[in-house]
Amino acid sequence: MVWQIDLSGKCIVVTGGNRGIGLSISHQCAQAGAHVAILYRQSEDAPEIAKGIAEKYDVRCVAYKCDVTDQRAVQELFKTIYHDVGPVGGVVCNAGVNYKKPALELTKEDFTKTFEPNVWGVFVAAQAAALLWQEHQYQNGRIVFVSSVSGTVANKGEQQAFYNPSKSALTMLAKNLAMEWAEMGILVNNVSPGYVDTDMNQGLRDDPELKKSVASNTFLNRISEPDEQAGPVVFLLSDQASYITGTEMIVDGGLHSW
Ligand code: NDP
């Protein structure tokens, strides 16, 4: 018998599912048979990307321009998605930003710019899914946050005094939602990547020596491809992960273990 992840019949919502790690998650969800709803903020090519995924895997895949920090808009959108794309079975709260700045220069505006999408926006999407599942009495909801090892490690040389704590917050957010929503049949977990080759790490693409040095801090001696983060996320969305909740899967090639 082939051990296979099957998400067919479900719609998975992926915030920031049009680029980087989120795009890989959208692909792998569709490959597992799920319909996919992508939420994006501004990238104009997102609808074309969604169309390509739909055609490649023969599923429904639609991109919706929606800022995850807008609670009312996200709640309304989840209802639209349920109706237009399919019964939502999972949400991947992946959208996030990383503004680097020396701590001495940080302002309240910088705080909001980081914490609003990275913590509040994650909560908003999770809550919108939970409300929908409550309304439809759906008992098998899955929520996966894309956090970061930066939630537990202060990376030497980085200026991430707000980014890192925004990711630490997701650890306790997942635990609390997992505890409160367990009786609704909802599982909530974090996947915490190490360094991944995406636009967020343009600095590493521009500086091969820096990339090499960062890679040398991992046991595997390389940074991660986005697809290597998507696999664990899809696993946590699947029936195979039915007894995992309130926890964190670290996917960092050994960086965290030093
Ligand atoms: P990218 O910068 O490549 O993509 C970010 C995505 O988030 C885009 O799709 C963007 O949409 C979307 N987004 C950002 N803000 C909002 C918002 N307010 N509303 C809706 N969508 C939004 O990021 P990565 O793929 O690198 O990162 C994805 C997640 O993984 C983030 O949470 C990040 O913190 C985390 N992570 C990344 C690591 C890395 O090394 N790359 C390491 C550890 C964690 P648009 O395209 O429209 O702007």
The active-site residue, picked from 163, 192, 195, 238, is: 163
Question: Do the Cβ atoms of 4 and 240 come closer than 8 Å?
Answer: no
Query: Residue 224, SS3?
Result: strand
Question: Do the Cβ atoms of 32 and 234 come closer than 8 Å?
Answer: yes
Write down the H helix ranges in the chain. Answer: 20-31, 46-57, 71-84, 108-115, 121-136, 163-181, 202-206, 208-215, 226-237
Q: Which of 68, 120, 144, 198 to mutate to test the pocket of ligand 1 (most atoms within 8 A of CB)?
A: 198
Under the banding of pLDDT at 50, 70 and 90, the label for residue 86 is: very high
% pLDDT > 90, the chain = 95
% pLDDT > 70, the chain = 99
Pick from 221, 173, 169: nearest CA to 195: 221
Please indicate whether residue 163 is annotated as part of the active site.
yes
Residue 140 CA, ligand 1 centroid: distance in Å:
26
Ligand 1 atom nearest to 193, measured from its CA: 43
Please give the model's pTM, rounded to 2 decimal places. Answer: 0.98
Residue 137 CA, ligand 1 centroid: distance in Å:
31
102: pLDDT strictly greater than 90:
yes
Give the domain ranges of the chain.
11-196+229-253
pLDDT score, position 258 = 56
Q: Give pLDDT tens digits for 200-226.
A: 999 999 999 999 999 999 999 999 999
Residue 17 CA, ligand 1 centroid: distance in Å:
8
Ligand 1 binding pocket, CB closer than 6 Å: 15-16, 18-22, 39-43, 67-69, 94-98, 117, 121, 146, 148, 193, 195-196, 198-201
- CATH 3.40.50.2000 applies to domain 11-196+229-253: no
Please name the residue whose Cα sits nearest to atom 2 of ligand 1: 200
The active-site residue, picked from 82, 138, 167, 192, is: 167
2: pLDDT strictly greater than 90:
no
Under the banding of pLDDT at 50, 70 and 90, the label for residue 10 is: very high
Mean of per-residue pLDDT scores for the chain: 96
* Burial of 242 from C-beta contacts in 10 A (0-12 / 13-18 / 19+): exposed
Q: How far apart (Å, rounded) are the C-alpha atoms in residues 39 and 18?
A: 8
Please indicate whether residue 167 is annotated as part of the active site.
yes
Mean pLDDT score, 235-250: 98
Ligand 1 atom nearest to 196, measured from its CA: 40
Residue 23 CA, ligand 1 centroid: distance in Å:
10
257: pLDDT strictly greater than 90:
no
